[in-house]
Structure formats: structure tokens, C-alpha cells
Structure 1
Amino acid sequence: MDIQNIAEFNEKVLNSDIPVLVDFYAEWCGPCKMMAPLVEELSREAKGFSVYKVNVDNVPEAADKFGVSSIPTFVVIKNGTEAARNIGAAPKQRLLELINKVI
């Protein structure tokens, strides 16, 4: 679920055949830690979409590509482009609404 480098991001996210919910986060971010169990839950329940986490400190190129300046930021990516975004912590229903807009 954790993307380790930009090559893996390109392969698993940008080249995905299905929409992808990307959680841009950092280890030191309190709200990010709060969202982690919810993101894991969404990943287990995912049908018709994938969920990946990108640590902005480890893969800054991915965060730069999507203009992420605040974390957590959740971006739904479809066909390699941004389809929806939520900045900040959000309830599960909000994240599902973002995903459901594009699947």
C-alpha cells in the first residue's frame, strides 16, 4: 500500500487501469496518523479502485507532480490525471464520495 519511489508511483498509480485514491502523508503529521486506520480500512474494502499511500518526505516528486502543499491530501487519480481532491482529514463518507465520482 505504501509507494516507495517515483517509479513505483508511476507504475501503480499513473498507469493504473482503475481509479486510485492516493493518501499523501508524512510520518510526523498528526492528522495523517489519525487518518491511517481509515485509509487501511478503505484499502481492504476497495472494489473498483485502489488505495496507495505516498510519504511526501520519501517521494517528493509525486507530491510535486500533483501540487500537494498540505497534508494529508487525498487525490483520486484516473487515467494518470487528477479527478478529485480533498485537503485535510476527512470522514470515510467524504473519501468514498470522491471515489464514487469517478468510478
Structure 2
Amino acid sequence: MAITNATDQTFTAETSSGLVLADFWAPWCGPCKMIAPVLEELDAEMGEKVKIVKVDVDENQETAAKFGVMSIPTLVVLKDGEVVDKVIGFQPKEALVGLLSKHA
């Protein structure tokens, strides 16, 4: 599966079923740039089990506000549209695999 970019208009549809990792980020954010290749690796390894959705907080403030995003990157884990976990800041791949495995 490929990483998807979601907007305020498409977020609910993109995250309504299955296990989803939503990455709230911005182009100017250093840690967000650091986590991008980690998410690519995660998608390559776990793409069958989890969908990764990126949300640019500058362009999609409504969705960011709905999830209480105050710092980026914020990673929200959703299962069938419901929030089941949330982490803030850069996370190594192993930590993200562990986080997602709890909910798979």
C-alpha cells in the first residue's frame, strides 16, 4: 500500500476502516522530515496490515484541531475510525512497529 495524503475533506473516508497510522506533520518541521523515511520503511514492511495517512497541519487545520494536535509530528493510531493510541515526536521504527502491533 502507498502512503496517502489526507485533507480535512478526505480524512474520515481515509481512516474509517482497518488499522491506520495518521502522521500530522508540516513541511518546515525538522523531526517530521526525519520520520518520513521511517514511515516509508514501515509502509514497505507493514503495508498489508496498516494504512499510513499523512496530514499537513498547515493546510488541514480543522482535522489537526479535532485531534488536539499541538506539537508535530503527532502520530495517531486509529482502528476502524476510532483513536486507540497517540504518540508525539520522532519515533524510531521499532517503537512504531511495537505501537501498531498492539492494535493489529
Work out whether the TM-score is over 0.5: yes
Asked if 1:2 corresponds to 2:9, the answer is no
Shift of 1:38: 0.8
Any idea what the Cα deviations from partners look like across 1:44-92, whole Å, max 9, x if unmatched?
Answer: 2222211111110111111111111100011101121211111100100
| Structure 1 vs Structure 2 CA RMSD | 1.1
Tell me the TM-score normalised to structure 1 length. Answer: 0.90
Counterpart of 2:54? 53
How many residue pairs match? The answer is 100
Question: Does the CA-based 8 Å contact 1:85-1:98 persist in structure 2?
Answer: no
- What residue identity is the alignment partner of 1:69? M
Tell me the TM-score normalised to structure 2 length. Answer: 0.89
Unaligned runs of 5+ in 1: none
Unaligned runs of 5+ in 2: none
Partner-residue secondary structure (3-state), 2:9 = helix
